[in-house]
Every structure is written in structure tokens, then in C-alpha cells.
Amino acid sequence: MTDTGSRLRKQLESANFDPQNYVKQLSQQSDGDRDLQEHRQKIQTLADETAQNLKKNVYKNYRQFIETAKEISYLESEMYQLSHILTEQKSIMESITQALLSADKDETSKEMLAAFPKETDELKQRTLTSLLEKVEGGKNIMDTPGRHLVYNGDLAEFDVDNMAPIQKVHAFLMNDCLLIATWLPNRRGTVKYKYNALYDLESFAVVNVKDNPPMKDMFKILMFPDSRIFQAENSKVKKEWLEILDETKKNKVTKDRHKKEEEAPNSPARPEVSTNPFDEDDDEPADAEESVDLSLEWIQELPEDLDVCIAQRDFEGAVDLLDKLNEYLKEQPVTPKVKELRSKVDERVRQLTEVLVFELSPDRSLRGGPRATRRAVSQLIRLGQSTKACELFLKNRAAAVQTAIRQLRIEGATLLYIHKLCNIFFTSLLETAKEFEMDFAGNTGCYSAFVVWSKSAMKMFVNAFSKQVFDSKESLSTAAECVKVAKEHCKQLSEIGLDLTFTLQSLLVRDIKAALQSYKDIIIEATKHRNSEEMWRRMNLMTPEALAKLKEEMRSCGMGSFEQYTGDDCWVNLSYTVVAFTKQMMSFLEEGLKLYFPELHMVLLESLREIILVAVQHVDYSLRCEQEADKKAFILQNATFLHDTVLPVVERRFEEGVGKPAKQLQDLRKSTRPVRVNPESTTSVV
């Protein structure tokens, strides 16, 4: 690299480099366009060298990149194993602590019983009554006989969705229900709380919430279909709440069972073997409850394992655990313990679904293409959420396609931009279709949603396409080439059985129709302008090269008999107006055939008919008005060229491009047939 290149590199790499000042100084110092071009070449050379160096560095460190990725994968696996070991150790420590606390609790209860032997249910009821006097709206709670206070304390309630603090509450746990009362901001006498809710112990389940600082010391109460989260003062109070709630619920179940047994008829005259066939069914729930073994270690740890999997984004592991549980409980009876386990697991399923839905939301990064969504989609399908997975997948891909189109820079020629636009859109659509077919292979009901989505995506593409091609008033030839490129790309989708050609045509028909009519009007105006200046003189092309070029142009237009109208030297026995009209109309026909599809048949046909009529009527008018015999013969020669050469070529080319004859053009040619007349006559056509 030269010294100038080194100085330029240092200047551009400087931390204080200001592009605006740099360009301003460069413009002031340069002598002209050549200096700017040379400086631009230097910067381009420097950019190419930098890109080459970066590419070499990537190749050089490619193996290290692969090894680093493998090491990261190994570390991730080891961290997962370490987390699992720590979870097991924590559960062991908690079980040991619980055993020690239960032993201490038994000793304490014995001491308390010895110290206060006269504490009875009546005393407990009296304590509850005195506490409930502080609750506004809680006087009717003591109407239930035998209800007494077990535990109470202050708690803080948090929002389940965003974990925001809601209010401060006071909870009263009784032997058959749980009362939640809110704190009154303006106290009135002894009243401190206001009645909020009363839950029967059998109507809710208590779930421990793992600590996630700053959110800690929390537990959740599940009441279908709602749930509430409370925070205790510290971990000790939280543990007391969980233990006492669990013990009170068990005591109530036991008490209710004994009560039913005492109320059941127990006559000694009846034999032990009952003749009632429904007695066996009454015993089945108890036997069934004993037959469902929920004491397995993996079942006991399932809720916490699911929390760990969700936190570590191990979605496959979480769904595997759910499948394992469903398989285990598939043929088992539904007992209260199974229902309680199901309620805990369903809450985790809801959380897992929310995380997977967030993974597929358009707010997430859209890089990586449709394959990046495969993980979340497959797990949602396994959870039985195939419809939601389909909807979110298609929304994600729609956002990705829209972003890609929006980021495409509009630069250079229109045709170049359309090539890039079609490449981006149809490649994305093809990749999305292949990924959709792979992910939803077993869900054929989702394919109709994909077809609907494809049509909406095509609308998005056509909006960008039309804005650049038709709204910018490009020439008809450019528009025809752009439409041809779009059609060719659209045919690529046929390899996966998706044909959107008709959709593309139906969306473009309005713009193409307007473009054809606009270009038709331009040709008619140009023809009328030339007709107004027509002098009916032979063309003199001055040079043989110009004559050869004109012959080649007319031959490419299909005018094979044009040679007979060329004379000696560089003269052409036709007027400039007729030759210019022929080239312009044949160009319009060729571009129109590139844009053609059945919905545009009459539009193209009527446009050709109107253009031809302008030229034919002008020739007819000139024949009628011209008095000089020589000029009249020359005009008749031009009319013969239009009728015998140009119009048949137009008819033949239209039939080749469309596939069926143009009856309107045939009728027009027959109605304008010129005849050989006396030069003194004014009759020209029949």
C-alpha cells in the first residue's frame, strides 16, 4: 500500500473522524471532477482491501469458531447437569430441615399442651370472633358452627402476570376455609380490614413459588380459572404458611371422611356382605386413590423440574416431562391427589405456552429465517396448540418478509430493484412453504391458513412492486420486463405445489390496464402530431448505413416485404409518418403481449384498434383532400403498405402471442381496403 493509502487509512480509522467535515474539505480542495473520481477510486480500493483482509481473518479463524461453538455446547450441557444436581441437593436439604422442624414442632406442641391444658375449641372460636370484629363485612363468617381460627398473618399480594405489587392483605386460615381481607387506609375505630374473599379449603391448591430475586418468599393459590400470588414477610413465615395450609387441608379431608363413616347406617342385622351392587362402586375411589402411586421421585419433583426447564429455555425437556406424566396417568383414575397434581402442572403448561408464544412473536429477532422458529413451533404442536403455532408462525414470517422488503434500498435502474425484490420475496415465500410443510406435516388442517397467508403476502409484494414500477411512470417496455421477471419467479413456487400466478395477475390487472391505456394515449397523441406536419414526401436517409439500420428494424418488427419499398441510393418510398407509426405500434404490440393475460384481452385489442384507426383515417382524409396526382399516388402507396403489410403482421403476431385470432382487427382491415382509383378521383377506400 502506498504512503497516500496509509495516510488515508489512518485518517478514516481515527476516532475523531467526521464524515461531513471530511467531504466538505475534500470538495474545497479538489480542482474538479477528476480529483473527486481519483479520490473515490482510492477509497474504493481501500474498502476492497479491508473486505479481503476480513475475509482472510474469517477463514483463518474458522476452525476456532467451530471449536468455540462446540465448547459452548459442552458448557451448556454441563451447566444444565450442575443445575440439576443443585436442585437435588436443595430438595434433600429441605427434606432434612422439614424433618428437624417437624420434630421440634412436636416437642413444642407437647410443651404448649402441658402449659395450657385448658385451651379448647371454645377458646379458639372466641379468639376468631375477636379478630373478625376488626374485619368490615366479616360478621357472618362465624355463623358456621365448629369454625375456629388456625393461623393468621399479614401478606403482600402481587399481580400474577407482571409480578407488580397490588395491595397489602391479612389472611385468616380457619379449619374449613381461608379468608382474605385488605387493609383499610382510613381506619374507623377497631376496624382495620375489609372483607375481600372467602375460599373453601377444597376449592383451591397451594403451590410454592421458587425464589427469583427480588421476588422471593412467595406462594401461589390456584382457584380455577384464576390464581393469586402472596408474599410472606420472610422465608420462615412462608414455610409456616405452606405447612399449616397443607396440614389443615389434610385434617379437613380426614374429618369429613370420619363424619361420613359415622353417618352411614350400621345395623347389626345386616350381614357383612351387602347385596347392594353399588357398594363396590362406593369403595372404588378409596382403592383407586391407593392404586395411583404419586410418591415416585420424578413425580414429586416434576413441578420444580418444569420451572427449571422453562427458566433454562429447555423447552424440549419440559415437554418430554409432560409427555411422560401424561403417559403415566393415561389409564389411571382421577383422584383428588391427581387433580391437585394436574392443577400444579397446568399452571406450568400455561407458563411454558406463554414463553413459546413470545419466542414466535414478531417483536423477537427475525434473523435466521423460518428455521429459527422450528423449535418453538414443534413444542407448541406437541402441547396440542397446533392452531396457535400455525397462526404465530405465519405472523412471524409475514413480519420478516415485510421487514426485508422495507430494508431493500431503492437504487439504480428499476429493473435491477425488481430483480432484487422478486429474489427476496419469492425466496422467502419458498423457504416459508418448505418449513411449513416440514413443521405441520401431520396437521393438514393448517394448510388452508398457509394459502390465505400466501395471498396476503402476495398483496404486500404487489404493493411494493406497483409503487416502484407503475406509480413512478416507467416506460411500458420497462414495466413489461418487470412483470415478466415477477411471473418467472412466481413459477418457482410450482415445485412445492403452490401456484400463485393467478393471484399475481389479478392484483396487477388494474395497474397494467392503466399503463396500457396511458401508453396508447401517448402513441395516439404522437401520431396526431406527426400527421399535422405531414408533407407526404419520400424518406431520404442520407447514408447507406442508416438505410441498412432501418431495414433491420423493420425486419425485426416482422415487415419482411419492406425491401420492395426501398429505392435507389438511400431513398424509401414511404413517408416518415407511416414508418414511425409502424415502429411505434409494433413496439406497443410486443410490450403488450409480454404483459398479456386473459383479463387484458379486450383492453389490448381495443387499444390496437384505436391506434390503427388514427393512422388509417389520416391516410383516408389525405387521399380525399389531395389534388396533385403524384402526391395522391404516393399517399395510396402508403395506404397499401398499411393495409397489405402492416395490418396482416399485427393480426398474425397478436394471434401467435394470444393463441386465438383477433376478429376485430380482421374486420377493421376489411373495412379499410384501399382500391386503385383514377388519380383525379377523390374516392380512396371502400
In CATH, 509-672 is 1.20.1250? no
- What are φ and ψ of residue 230, in 5° steps? -125, 150
The helix (H) or strand (E) run that includes residue 203 is none
Cα separation values, 640 from 260, 559, 610, 634, Å: 115, 13, 19, 10
Bond prior to 679 in cis (omega within 30° of 0)? no
Are the CB atoms for 177 and 200 separated by under 8 Å? yes
Q: Is the pLDDT of residue 101 over 70?
A: yes
> Rounded to an integer, what distance in angstroms lies between the CA atom of residue 341 and that of residue 339?
5
Chain centroid, CA 135 distance in Å: 52
The helix (H) or strand (E) run that includes residue 540 is strand 538-540
Percent of the chain with pLDDT over 90: 1
Q: Is 51 exposed, middle or buried (0-12, 13-18, 19+ CB in 10 A)?
A: exposed
Q: How many helices (H) and strands (E) does the chain have?
A: 23, 10
Cα separation values, 528 from 181, 355, 588, 634, 669, Å: 91, 69, 16, 20, 20
- What are φ and ψ of residue 609, in 5° steps? -65, -45
Residue 296: per-residue pLDDT:
76
Listing DSSP states for 305-319 in one string gives: HHHHHHHTT-HHHHH
Angle between helical axes of 62-115 and 33-60 (0-180°, round to 10): 60
pLDDT digits (tens, 9 = 90+) for 290-311: 566 777 778 888 888 888 888 8
Cell numbers that stand for 667 in this block: 374486420
Residue 155: per-residue pLDDT:
92
Q: Is 404 exposed, middle or buried (0-12, 13-18, 19+ CB in 10 A)?
A: middle
> Rounded to an integer, what distance in angstroms lies between the CA atom of residue 99 and that of residue 93?
10
Which alpha helices (DSSP H) does 470-543 contain, by range?
Answer: 476-490, 501-532
For the chain, the distance separating the N- and C-terminal CA atoms, rounded to the nearest angstrom, is 81
Chain centroid, CA 256 distance in Å: 54
pLDDT digits (tens, 9 = 90+) for 227-239: 889 999 888 898 8
Are the CB atoms for 366 and 400 separated by under 8 Å? yes
Q: Is the pLDDT of residue 272 over 60?
A: no
Residue 275: per-residue pLDDT:
42
pLDDT digits (tens, 9 = 90+) for 310-323: 887 788 888 888 88
Are the CB atoms for 569 and 597 separated by under 8 Å? no
The helix (H) or strand (E) run that includes residue 135 is strand 135-136
**Residue 194 CB partners (closer than 8 Å, separation 6+):** 135, 136, 137, 181, 182, 183, 184
Residue 185: per-residue pLDDT:
78
- On average, the pLDDT of the chain sits at 79
> Rounded to an integer, what distance in angstroms lies between the CA atom of residue 296 and that of residue 342?
15
Cα separation values, 436 from 258, 394, 433, 498, 504, Å: 58, 9, 5, 13, 21
- Write down how long the chain is: 686
Q: Is the pLDDT of residue 333 over 70?
A: yes
Cell numbers that stand for 323 in this block: 409427555
SS3 readout for 222-275: EECCEEEEEECCCHHHHHHHHHHHHHHHHHHHHHHHHHHHHHCCCCCCCCCCCC
Domain residue spans of the chain: 1-74, 121-259, 297-473, 509-672
Are the CB atoms for 496 and 437 separated by under 8 Å? yes
Residue 334: per-residue pLDDT:
81
Mean pLDDT, residues 216-224: 83
Q: Is the pLDDT of residue 284 over 60?
A: no
Q: Is the pLDDT of residue 134 over 60?
A: yes
Are the CB atoms for 207 and 136 separated by under 8 Å? no
Radius of gyration, CA atoms only, the chain? 44
Q: How many CB atoms lie within 10 A of CB 567?
A: 13
Which alpha helices (DSSP H) does 116-202 contain, by range?
Answer: 121-132
Residue 685: per-residue pLDDT:
42
> Rounded to an integer, what distance in angstroms lies between the CA atom of residue 326 and that of residue 315?
17
Give residue 282's pLDDT band: very low, low, confident or very high (50, 70, 90). Answer: very low
- What are φ and ψ of residue 479, in 5° steps? -60, -40
Q: How many CA atoms lie within 13 A of 43 on its CB side?
A: 13
> Rounded to an integer, what distance in angstroms lies between the CA atom of residue 153 and that of residue 125?
17
In CATH, 121-259 is 3.40.1280.10? no
Among 115-124, 268-277, 467-476, top mean pLDDT goes to 467-476
Residue 365: per-residue pLDDT:
55
Among 91, 85, 181, smallest CA distance to 128 is for 181
In this structure, the dihedral spanned by the alpha carbons of residues 405, 406, 412 and 413, taken in order and rounded to 10 degrees, is 50
Q: Is the pLDDT of residue 345 over 80?
A: yes
Among 112-116, 195-199, 680-684, top mean pLDDT goes to 195-199
Max Cα-Cα span within the chain:
146
Model pTM score: 0.50
Placement of cell 436517409 in the chain: 541
Cell numbers that stand for 180 in this block: 382474605
Cell numbers that stand for 177 in this block: 376455609
pLDDT digits (tens, 9 = 90+) for 520-572: 888 888 888 888 887 788 888 788 888 888 888 888 888 777 777 777 678 88
pLDDT digits (tens, 9 = 90+) for 577-618: 888 888 888 888 888 888 888 888 888 888 888 888 888 888
Cell numbers that stand for 233 in this block: 414477610
Chain centroid, CA 605 distance in Å: 42
**3-class SS at 390?**
helix
Q: Residue 57 corresponds to which amino acid?
A: N
Mean pLDDT, residues 404-433: 84
- Cross-strand partners of 231: 156, 218
The helix (H) or strand (E) run that includes residue 467 is helix 447-469
Q: Is the pLDDT of residue 285 over 50?
A: no
